[in-house]
Amino acid sequence: MGKKLNLIVYIRDKERFYLSTGEKKISSVFENHQDISSFFEENHVTHVTVIFGRPAIFIRKIEFPFSSLKMISQVILEETSPLFPVSTEELELFWYPVLKEKTKTIVSILGIEKSKIEKWQKLSATHKFKLNICFEPFILSNYVSKITTERNFILVFIDHNYFARYIVKNKMVVESNSSYIEPDTIENVLADVVNNNDERLPVFCITDSKFSARTDQYTLLIPPVSESVSSVLFSIFESKKNLYKPSHRVFSVSRSELAVNPFVLLAVICYLIIAGLMFRPLLIARQIQEKVNDTDKKMEQIFREAFPDVKKIVNPVIQARERLRNIGDVQKVVPKISVISIMKEISDIVPANFPFKVSQMSLRGSDLFLTCSTDTLENVELLTQKFTRSSIFQNVKVGSIVPESGQITFNLLMKVKYEKN
């Protein structure tokens, strides 16, 4: 089996791997699952570090009107569900606060598809190696933080045709985007990042020695790169150690689970059977009465919501029947959202000949999700302000922003106000 080996796997568009055995270094790409299994059969790997690149991570930000992290942990799963393009049941979620004040907390939440993590967990169980899961944003931020004393900066990572931008404040990644771009446009995209640096944060660019651009507007960080290394990220580990863990605490989103002792469960079942036989008539009577009372309360509650002008309720069924005889009354109490009115409002918001396109619209209840594109970051800000001033949109937030092929693709999340006929 050979020496004990440590393996680093970088998942981005492909699964790149890096293996160092003394003076010998192996770096390539896993083409398929059989390729991976064969690798573990031929090598005695004891530790595997899987690093998820920015394109493999869903990153969202959400604001809570309180500062308690305990309260956030209890509601974050439900509150962030509408923000992701897939069900949160399919994601492994992690979060950390990026801004904390007395009356509000802004949280960054990261989502990884469970299937991608479970794949490596199964390999770990089969081939008996220790598995460690890491994230590209934290590793790059740690790398720069070990080189500079700056706590706030912009980090640009260029790896072949891959371009990622991170804004780091207080050594925490607070904003990010990434894209694959044409090699001859890399310098232009980097120049856009520098020119749109309104806060005048120092800019650090991590890339390889083939990058020829030089300027005093940013600092180039070029780790020594071996010809055999398939990614610049692997070269970072040759020059700096202990980059895996973030400098701040990252929480995982827990889902409610119930662990039951089988002996306790058996005792409870026996007790319920005996109690049921002894008190069955009384239990049935109480259950029926409780259902009747509960039904009465629900009927009264529904009636009050439908007809708030009625002060005295005697028999909600009869009173509702009288009220609903006229179909016009029904329409007055049924709130609805008109998709056509939403489309018209968007058309009214965006000026004529303005470079703006909506490629996807998703409406879930009152939650509206738009995938849009325009040509500049300034237009993204301008459009956000126009949506905020709309009469039917509220709580307008910008999701991920991705520059690609001369366009800026971004997400808009907002609430749609209910209308009543």
Any idea which of 226-230, 232-236, 253-257, 402-406 has the lowest mean pLDDT? 253-257
Q: How far apart are CA 87 and CA 83, in angstroms?
A: 10
128-137, 316-325, 347-356, 365-374, range with greatest mean pLDDT: 128-137
What would the mean pLDDT of 94-102 be, rounded to a whole number? 92
Query: What integer is the mean pLDDT of 18-28?
Result: 72
Query: Quick one: CA torsion of 138, 141, 145, 149, rounded to 10 degrees?
Result: -130
Tokens 């031929």 locate to: 42
**pLDDT, position 210:** 67
Render the burial of 79-118: b for 16+ CB within 10 Å, e for the rest.
ebebbbeeebeebbbbbbbbeeeeeebebbbbbbbeeebe
Q: Report the greatest alpha carbon distance in the chain.
A: 88
- Assign domain 54-252 to its CATH superfamily: 2-keto-3-deoxy-galactonokinase, substrate binding domain (3.30.420.300)
Whether 3 shows a pLDDT value over 80: the answer reads no
CA-atom Rg of the chain in angstroms:
28
User: How far apart, in whole angstroms, are the C-alpha atoms of residue 275 and residue 200?
Assistant: 72
The CA distance from 394 to 398, in Å, is 12
Per-residue pLDDT at 343: 82
Q: Please check the confidence at residue 335 and state whether its pLDDT lies above 70.
A: no
Quick: pLDDT tens for 196-223: 999 999 999 998 766 666 667 888 888 8
d(CA 305, CA 365): 19
Mean pLDDT across the stretch 109-133? 92
Over the stretch 147-161, which tens digit does the pLDDT of each residue have?
Answer: 999 999 999 999 888
Say if residue 327's pLDDT is above 80: no
Say yes or no: domain 339-416 is CATH 3.30.1360.100.
yes
Q: Which of 163-167, 239-243, 346-350 is predicted with the least confidence, judged by mean pLDDT?
A: 239-243
The pLDDT score that the predictor gives to residue 330 is: 42
Tell me the backbone φ, ψ of residue 388, rounded to 5 degrees.
-65, -35
Section 370-379 average pLDDT: 89
| Whether pLDDT at 393 is above 50 | yes
Question: For the chain, what percent of residues have pLDDT higher than 70?
Answer: 80
Where does residue 164 fall: left (phi above 0), alpha (psi -120 to 50 degrees), or beta otherwise? beta
For residue 123, what pLDDT band results from cuts at 50, 70 and 90?
very high
Select the more confidently predicted residue: 406 or 370. 370
What mean pLDDT do residues 387-401 have? 88
Sorting pLDDT into bands at 50, 70 and 90, what band is 125?
very high
**What's the average model confidence in pLDDT over 118-135?**
92
* Residue predicted with more confidence, 341 or 163: 163
- Of 420 and 26, the structure prediction assigns the larger pLDDT to 26
Res 281 pLDDT > 80: no
Instruction: State mean pLDDT over 125-149.
Output: 92
Give the start-to-end residue ranges of the domains of the chain: 54-252, 262-333, 339-416
Q: Residue 95 has what pLDDT?
A: 94
pLDDT of residue 333: 42
Q: Is 338 in contact with 419 (CB distance < 8 Å)?
A: yes
Mean pLDDT over 236-265 rounds to 68
| Segment (H or E) for 133 | strand 130-135
Structure confidence at residue 346 as a pLDDT band (50, 70, 90): confident
If you average pLDDT over every residue of the chain, what do you get? 82
- Asked if the model's pLDDT at residue 108 lies above 90, the reply is yes
Among 90-94, 126-130, 265-269, name the one with the lowest average pLDDT.
265-269
Is the pLDDT at 282 greater than 80? The verdict is no
Handedness of CA 364, 366, 372, 378 (dihedral sign): negative
Contact 132, 123 (CB under 8 A): no
Question: Rounded to whole angstroms, how far apart are CA atoms 194 and 212?
Answer: 17
Distance CA 230, CA 25 (A): 11
Share of the chain above pLDDT 90, in %: 29
SS3 127: helix
Q: Is the pLDDT of residue 384 over 60?
A: yes
List beta partners, residue 106: 63, 99
Helix axes 136-145, 232-239, angle to 10 degrees: 40
pLDDT at 347 over 80: yes
Give dist(CA 111, CA 94) in Å, integer: 7
Residue 96, classed as helix, strand or coil, is: strand
pLDDT at 400: 83
Residue with tokens 């925490």: 172
